[in-house]
Amino acid sequence: MQIKANHLTYTYMKNTPFETNAIDKLDLMIPGEQFTSIIGHTGSGKSTLVQHFNGLLKPTDGSIKIGEWTVKSDTKQKLLYPLRRHVGMVFQFPEHQLFHETILADVAYGPMNFGFSKEEAEKVAKECLANVGIDDQLFDRSPFDVSGGQMRRVAIAGVLALDPELLILDEPTAGLDPEGQEMMMKLFHDWYEEREERSIILVTHQMEDAARYSDEVIVMDGGNVIDRGTPRQIFAKKAELEKIGLTVPESVQLLEALQAHSESELNTSAFTLEDTVESILSFLHKKGRD
């Protein structure tokens, strides 16, 4: 689903002494069917921006177009409901949204809001729960009665159950242990790969994830987009990123340190273990040739 922001501005607590311009006259186009990451320092406006993508926030000024929907400051709430069927959103600590008596009913809540019958909704819910790795023995348990990692997966199943075209992830792995983070990112990536028309927009502080999974990385600072490009292009700009409080993935840090220390050219844009090893090996080979 394509997104197009036109002079988008969002102001919190307008007309009070605490007024904050979180997004400032932003122009942005994000193509559909791709994996996009948004990075930026805390407070740079990432969450505020992505909440416009499914109509949770309406622009204070300017407009935003998501697929065929256009949202302006005076757009009626009512018109935004169908949009949310197509754009799913996973917040930070999504397990805080669980409320139903059973896990199955909680996941079926979304589809039922959009007019599915109970049977249909539960069928979808079961599929989604299986996809996120929740055993069917747990379906009738209370969502508050399972481990923290499982709670989060149930909450995510509740969002996937809407079968959105675009999935927005706002720091979805915060607070998980390394294994949990790895599994969670894999789950999202598998979901994304499953169908051609699906897109993901990931807000993250983990540069490694942004580098590994995205087609495009968008850099935000002070309520505006200041740079965008492929992970390769963005993470080649270590100094610029550091200036706005960001880092490059650890693999890039290592390769750049090696490059600086050995004073020889090497490929520094490697984001996986394999690529990094390969880059180092070719560095060692080259050393042999020189």
Ligand X SMILES: Nc1ncnc2c1ncn2[C@@H]1O[C@H](COP(=O)(O)OP(=O)(O)O)[C@@H](O)[C@H]1O
Task: Report what 103 binds from Mg ion, ligand X, another protein, none; CB cut-off 5-8 Å by kind.
Answer: none
Q: Could you tell me if residue 171 is left (phi over 0), alpha (psi between -120 and 50 degrees) or otherwise beta?
A: left
Q: Whole-angstrom Cα distance, residue 59 to residue 10?
A: 5
Whose structure tokens read 């490697």? 270
Choose between 173 and 251: whose C-beta lies nearer to ligand X.
Answer: 173
Q: How far is the CB of 261 from Mg ion (least distance, A)?
A: 36
Of 112 and 215, the one with the shorter C-beta distance to another protein is 112
Cross-strand partners of 65: 4, 70
User: Contact letters (x/-) for ligand X, 42-71, by CB under 6 A?
Assistant: xxxxxxx-----------------------
185-189-192-195 Cα dihedral, nearest 10 degrees: -140
Cβ-based neighbours of 280, under 8 Å, separated by 6 or more: 255, 258, 266
DSSP string, 202-221: EE-S-HHHHHHH-SEEEEEE
Please, which of residues 6-35 interact with ligand X by CB under 6 A? 12-13, 20, 22
Instruction: Check residue 114 for interaction with another protein (CB under 8 A).
Output: yes
Contact residue for another protein among 175, 193, 195, 226 (CB under 8 A): 175
Of the candidates 285, 282, 253, which has an alpha carbon nearest to the alpha carbon of residue 269? 253
Q: Rule CB under 8 A: is residue 147 a binding residue for another protein?
A: yes
Does residue 183 interact with another protein by CB under 8 A?
no
Residues in region 31-70 near another protein by CB under 8 A: 41-43, 51, 54, 56
The partner in contact with residue 288, picked from ligand X, another protein, Mg ion, none with C-beta cut-offs of 5 to 8 angstroms by kind, is another protein
Q: What are phi and psi of 122, to 5 degrees?
A: -70, -30
- Residue 85 touches which of Mg ion, ligand X, another protein, none (Cβ within 5-8 Å per kind): another protein
Residue 22: name its binding partner from ligand X, Mg ion, another protein, none (Cβ under 5 to 8 Å by kind): ligand X
**What order of strands is seen across the sheet that includes strand 61-66?**
20-30, 3-12, 61-66, 69-71
CA 79 to chain centre: 25
Say which entry of Mg ion, another protein, ligand X, none residue 48 contacts (CB below 5 to 8 A, set by partner kind). ligand X
Enumerate residues 6+ apart whose C-beta is below 8 A from 283. 258, 262, 264, 266
User: Considering only residues 74-133, where is the footprint of Mg ion by CB under 5 A?
Assistant: none
What's the min distance (Å) between Cβ of 170 and Mg ion? 6
Nearer to ligand X, 14 or 286 (CB): 14
Distance CA 48, CA 6 (A): 15
Residue 15, C-beta contacts closer than 8 angstroms, at least 6 positions apart: none
The residues binding another protein (CB under 8 A) are 12-17, 41-43, 51, 54, 56, 77-78, 81, 84-85, 88-89, 91, 94, 96-100, 109-110, 113-114, 144, 147-149, 158-159, 162, 174-180, 182, 205, 245, 247, 250-251, 253-254, 257-258, 261-262, 273, 276-277, 280-281, 283-285, 287-290
The residues binding ligand X (CB under 6 A) are 12-13, 20, 22, 40, 42-48
